[in-house]
Homo-oligomer: A and B are copies of this chain.
Amino acid sequence: MSTAPVSTPPASSLKSIADSRPVAYPKIITEPPPFSIETLQALLDGEQKPMRDRVKQILRQPHFRYYTGTDTAEYREKVFHWCLELAREGIARIGYPAAAGGEGDTEKFLAAFETLAFHDLSLVIKFGVQFGLFGGSLQQLGTEHHHRKYLLPCGTLALPGCFAMTEIGHGSNVKDIETTATYDVSPREFIIHSPSPAAGKSYIGNAAVHGRAATVFAQLIVGEDRHGVHAFVVPLRSAEGFLLPGVRIEDNGQKLGLNGVDNGKIWFDQVRIPREDMLDRFASVSPEGEYSSPIKNPGARFFTMLGTLVGGRISIASSGNNAAKSALAIAVRYAGRRRQFSGPKQEAETLLFDYPSHQRRLMPLLANAYGLHFALQHLVRVYAAPKRKEADTRALESLAAGLKAWSTWNTTNTIQTCREACGGEGYLAVNRFAALKADTDIFTTFEGDNTVLLQLLAKNLLTDLRAKFKGMSKLDLLQFFGEQTSTKFVELNPISTLKIDKAHLRDTDFHLAAFRYREQRILLGTAKRMRRLASEGADAYATFLSCQIRLGVLAQASVERVILEQFAAAVTNCSDKQVRAVLKDLMDLFALVQIERHRGWYLEYSYLQPRKSKAIGREVDQLCADLRPMAVALVNSFGIPDECLAAPIALR
């Protein structure tokens, strides 16, 4: 209780704030890093640095400023015009053949695409639909006639187009789509038709407003014969933008995100197209109605047609990781300037980033982003490599499927965690998490649902394993399984399950061995289980269902092994000592966090002893703390232009 004299406080302590000084965010506290940001950024950018720089230069221009309104029609027009700008700059056709005005440079095109993902993701997806999916299908499934007639105007955006594969009734199951393409021999035309409402193409980007043509996937019918899914170019709208007869389109309406992209549903009512507009690289119908294909096996033919999706998966995986980088850049910079609560003796409140729990939230995600970056660059190189055997194609497909799934789930998780790490500020649209979160959310679903993609990868691993078995006698097989799934691997080196010295815990050979052991052990365990079920009389489908959950686990283990291997290769190949040191720490963090996440499994299989498992947890804490002073430099090394980052809480 106070009895001190009471008076009006002096005016000085009550100076007016009516002049509305803007709230300036405090300075970002960061120490000079023990490595060169330029060197690290150059390493990340790789050979395509000039292309990346050029795209960033374009995105920095004032007319690329983000759309901040809520009017969907206006937003779609804005995104269309951004695409037009990029087409004018020649960015769109870099990957196309010369006949379509391009340079035939896939790596360069993917680098450009990836860089766009630092900007509005509706732009990325609209750009990808037009130049990657529509253009890619013309390029890869069509022949020179199509390249000249359609791909050329596609690359300049003179012909906005769609990639009409998915149907309402058949999301991921493309093989069972219902749309038909029936050959009519006398006028030499195909009749494109939707036999039921559920046969409508759905979620087709560019369909609701801008698309004038579409690559349509349909069941080819010639006479009495059904030849499976093939692709056709079908006009949708006149040059003036009016729908053509027989085409019905509905707007898919408001979506959770990506509202700058005009997705729509399309139904065809006996739409006739000339015979020449079948994309005929892998199959054709002669004027007289004779079907022929250089690929004899219908299954192989189908998967070759679907090959167009691989490029899309790579692009989505990379775009997702770049969106995650943006989120990390914002959250890390904010954590370096925002203070909350203080110790009893302290003057200033504590920086968010000086809380161990905050470090634990953000640092492992930063390590993931780096690891994925290197793994995805590897994937691009494999994809762009000139020639491929069938086994190579399956390996590429597996790699793209697995990395797409792992990367996009990591994107969702990273952006969510970064949003929460920025508290209420993270919830304001101006700070960009709203868009990043909503726009990337569908990445886990489109270009192949992640759950389905992981099964694809796991099945390929089992197929490869089965190839190994071929020729083995039953006795050899039994012995093989017995050996491989015993704890023999571990028993060979009982000390390693107990070792907890720092040198060992930070040893890349230990990490790689642990990742590989896990993948191999789950693979063999699954194969063994499948054999047992089959020997008990279960059919293949029942066996698959009974192993489905572990197929997903297997696939994830496999992807993680690939990421670590590529991370390790990047560290080894890095010629700058300081940069190599920080990358090694990030890689260790990535490796140990995964082992920690799966420590239940490692303990169950006695690959780790409890003491070692606990020591790994402590090492992760320590690594997070050790890397924390470099965190701002590590996100700055991503080289995201401030104009793209845009969030006021993150700007210098």
Contacts and interface: CB of A to CB of B under 8 A. Distances in A.
A196 B13 CA distance: 11
Contacts of A444: 420
A168 B549 contact: no
Assembly stoichiometry (copies):
2
B70 A223 contact: no
B541 A428 contact: no
B68 A70 contact: no
A385 interface: no
A535 to B, nearest CB: 19
Interface in A328-360: 340-346, 349, 354-357, 360
Contacts of A72: 70
A195 B539 contact: no
B423 A412 contact: no
A416 B412 contact: yes
B549 A451 contact: no
A545 B358 CA distance: 11
Interface stretch (A121-129, A246-254, A396-404): A246-254
A638 interface: no
A176 B546 CA distance: 57
Contacts of A545: 354-356
Contact of A340 (B2, B172, B197, B253): B172
Interface residues of A, number: 126
A173 interface: yes
B290 A1 contact: yes
Nearest to A603: B603
A604 B433 CA distance: 37
Given A420-B445, A600-B603, 7 more contacts: A17-B195, A23-B197, A170-B340, A256-B428, A256-B434, A257-B427, A424-B445
User: Nearest 7 CB-CB pairs, A to B?
Assistant: A343-B541, A6-B289, A256-B434, A254-B429, A603-B603, A4-B223, A599-B600
Interface of A: 1-9, 13-18, 20-24, 68, 70-72, 166, 168, 170-173, 176, 182-186, 191, 193-200, 202-203, 221-225, 227, 246, 248, 252-257, 267, 269-270, 288-292, 340-346, 349, 354-357, 360, 412, 416, 419-420, 423-424, 426-430, 433-434, 437-438, 441-442, 444-446, 449-451, 539-542, 544-546, 548-549, 552, 596, 599-600, 603-606, 610, 613-614, 621
20 contacts: A5-B223, A8-B191, A15-B195, A17-B194, A17-B197, A17-B269, A23-B200, A172-B340, A172-B341, A176-B341, A254-B428, A256-B427, A256-B433, A344-B541, A420-B445, A420-B450, A424-B445, A549-B621, A603-B603, A603-B610
